[in-house]
Structure 1
C-alpha cells in the first residue's frame, strides 16, 4: 500500500539544457525527502544529462517520450541546442502539443505582467519602446527592464508565431500554484508582487545550483583533465571563463569583437565556443585570422563539450563573461565569481538589468538600437 505521506511528482521541463538541468536539480532535492519523481523528456536529452547519484536512482525515473512530428523539425532535434535559432520555433510547436513549463525569474514574470492582459490582448504596451521602461503595475522604484534591441527581436518573432509571453500567460492561467527558481533573499519584492498579480500561491524553490560531485565520471574525462592541467598553471582568480550557453550562437561580427576584445584585455581566458547549433545550422563563423596563434598560452578556445561547472569551481577562474542566462549566473554566483554580462534575449536582458541594479555584475556597453558592441567595450568591461 502506498505511503499517503509520500508524493509522486512529474516534471516536464522545456527542451533546453538551461531548463532541463535546474529541473533535475529540483528533482534530486525533492527525492532526498523520499518522494518519487518522474522526469519526462526525450530519449536523447535524457542521455545527455549527468548520471544520478546511486542513492537517488531508485527514486527518480526517467520517462522517455517522442516528440510529435512537425514540418521542418529535423528528426534528431530534441533540444534547442540542436537547432539554429531561427528553427527553434518548430521545436516550440512540437512542445505546444504536450505541456509546457518555464524557468524564469520573478522579475521577468512580472515584466510580462498579469495573465489576462496577454490572453485578452489588453496590454497597453504596443510598441517595442513601451517595454524599455517600468510597467504600470510595478509599484516600487526599479530600473529593471529590457533593452530596445532585445524587444525588437521578440516583436519580430511574435508576428510569425505564438509569442513566448502568450505561452507563459496561458500556462500560469491554467495552474493552481507557481513554483519559481528564486528566493526571497534575491528578489523578495518581485516575488511578493507576482503573488499579487497572479492571485495564486508563489513558491520560491531556491536557485538550485548544480552539484559537482554527482556520478564522478567527469573527474576522469580526458577533456576535463587537459583543461584542468591548463587551469592549474594559472594564477588564482586570473582567468576569465567565456561562455554563452547553448541558446546563443554569435554571428560573425559578435564573434570577431569578442575575440579581439579578449585579446586586447590581456587577461588569460578559457572560451567555450559553440560554432554550430545542430546539423541544420549552415551559418559558418570564423575566429579572426591569426587570433589563436596570437593568444597561444594565454587563452584557450574550445569548440567541443566542456564541463562548465568544474571550470567555474576552479580557483584560477576569477569571473565569467556570460549571456546572463539564469543557470550560468546561478553557477557563477554559487562559486563567488564576478559577472561580465552580454545578454542577447529578453529574459536574459531582464536578469542582466537586475544584476546591475543589485551591483552584482557589469553589462558591456551596447548600441541601443541593434545591440552591437565593440572590442574596446569588451576589453574595458573585463578590466
Structure 2
C-alpha cells in the first residue's frame, strides 16, 4: 500500500532551541504535502509562533507542559534563556518524560521522529510499541567530526580539511568530555539512535556533504538519509520594506550582511572589533546587533564612540531582528559575516551568498572549515585566539570587493543550483524510508 493510499501519523519532537525547531517545522510542512498527518510537539512558548504561521488540518500542534517549579513558562525554551538556567531546563524536560509518554499513548503515532538531544524519547516509544527515527538538524561534517574525535580520538580524522588539534577540539567542544570509559561511550551512542533506530535523518544534502554523509554512515553503522535543506521560505512582513528600500539604493553584491544568530552574543570586545572591522573595510553593511534578554545595554554605548556617525548611510545597524532570508536574497548582498550556525550556512547557500566565517562554539568551527573546503567563503584569520578588526576587514574585502570573492560567488551559485535540483529526490527517498518503517519494515 502506497503513502497516497494510506495516511500515516508521524510525531515530530524537536529540542527546545530555535535552530532545532525551525528545521523540524519545515520538515512538518514537507511531510503534510506528502500525505502524512503530522503531530508537532514542543512547549507552548515554542509552538506559539508556528500556530500563527502554519494553518493546515494535517498538522496538529501538541503542547508538552514541562513539570518545573523553578522555570516560568517563558523559559521553557533556549531562546532568551539565561545561561545558568540551561541545566535546569534540561533536567525539567527529562522530568517530564511521563507526560510525554502519556501523549504518545493518546496519539499512537506510526512513527516518532525525535531530535538527537532527546535520546530517551526513542526508548519510551519502543516501550509503547512505536517505531522511531532520530533526526539531526545539524550537518554531517560536524556530526561525523564530533563522533570521530569522541569515539576514536587517537585515530586521525580521514578528512584533512576538518582535522583539529587537541587544543582546538577542547575550545570548540568537539569532544564530549567524560567519554573515555566504555560505559560513557555507550551513553554517547544513544545520541546516534543506538540501539533502537534503524537509520538517521539529517538536515543536509549529498550535493554539499556527500562524503561526510557516507563516512558518518560507516561510523555509526546505520544508513544516514539526507532530507535536503530544511530552510523556511521567508514570510513577507511590513517591516521588511525598511531593509529592502535601503538595499535597493546599493550596487549589486556590494553589501555585507552581519548576524551571529539568535542565541550567541558578542562580548563588548568582540562587538568593538566587528564594528571597527566593518569601518576599515569600507564596505556597506547591515548589522543585526543582539544583546542577552534582561541585560540593559544601550546600542550607542556598545559600539565604539562616533562609529555610527563615521559610517553614516554606508551602514544600517538594527537591534534584535532583521528578515535574514529576505536580505540574503537581495541582489545587493555580496557576503554574509556569520557565526556559522548550520541553519545560517544552509540559508547562505540557498540564497547564493558567500560566507565570511567567524565561528565561536559547538558545531560552528566545523561548519566554517566546510565553507572553506567548498570554496564558498573564507574564515576570518584569528590574531592569536581572538578575531581582530584588521583581519575582519581583510576577509570582508576579499569576499565582497576582490576577485577571489567573485569566484566564491560563482561557486556558491553553482552549489545552490545543484542542491535545489536534488531537493525533491532526497525528500522522496526520506518519505519512502518512513513509509517502509511505518509498514513495519
Which residue does 1:144 correspond to in 2?
A: 162
The C-alpha deviation readout for 1:80-112, integer Å capped at 9, x for no partner, is 221244543333333344535642211222122
SS of 1:68 mapped into structure 2 = coil
Decide whether aligned partners of structure 1 residues 167 and 354 sit closer, same or farther in structure 2, where only a CA change above 3 A counts. Answer: farther
Superposition pairs of residues 174-189 of structure 1, within 5 angstroms: 174=195, 175-189=197-211
Which residue does 1:154 correspond to in 2?
A: 173
Decide whether aligned partners of structure 1 residues 70 and 353 sit closer, same or farther in structure 2, where only a CA change above 3 A counts. Answer: farther
Which residue does 1:34 correspond to in 2?
A: 35
Partners of 2:10 and 2:351 in 1: CA distance: 30
1:197 aligned onto 2:219: yes
Contact 1:21 1:49 in 2 (8 A): no
Q: 1:171 aligns with which of 191, 205, 213?
A: 191
Which residue does 2:333 correspond to in 1?
A: 317
- Stretches of structure 1 lacking an aligned partner (at least 5 in a row): none
CA shift, 1:166, in A, is 8.5
The C-alpha deviation readout for 1:308-359, integer Å capped at 9, x for no partner, is 1111111211121000111111111111111100011131111111111121
1:105 aligned onto 2:105: no
CA shift, 1:373, in A, is 1.2
Which residue does 1:76 correspond to in 2?
A: 74
Q: 2:388 aligns with which of 367, 370, 374?
A: 374
Higher-Rg structure is: 2
State the superposition RMSD in angstroms. Answer: 2.9
Decide whether aligned partners of structure 1 residues 124 and 165 sit closer, same or farther in structure 2, where only a CA change above 3 A counts. Answer: closer
CA shift, 1:171, in A, is 2.8
Decide whether aligned partners of structure 1 residues 86 and 257 sit closer, same or farther in structure 2, where only a CA change above 3 A counts. Answer: farther
Higher relative contact order (CA 8 A, sep 6+): 1
TM-score (norm 2): 0.72
CA shift, 1:16, in A, is 1.4
SS of 2:253 mapped into structure 1 = coil
CA shift, 1:150, in A, is 6.3
SS of 1:76 mapped into structure 2 = helix
Partners of 1:146 and 1:324 in 2: CA distance: 17
TM-score (norm 1): 0.82
Contact 1:70 1:93 in 2 (8 A): no
Which residue does 2:19 correspond to in 1?
A: 18
Higher helix share: 2
Partners of 1:237 and 1:3 in 2: CA distance: 44
1:287 aligned onto 2:287: no
Partners of 2:36 and 2:312 in 1: CA distance: 50
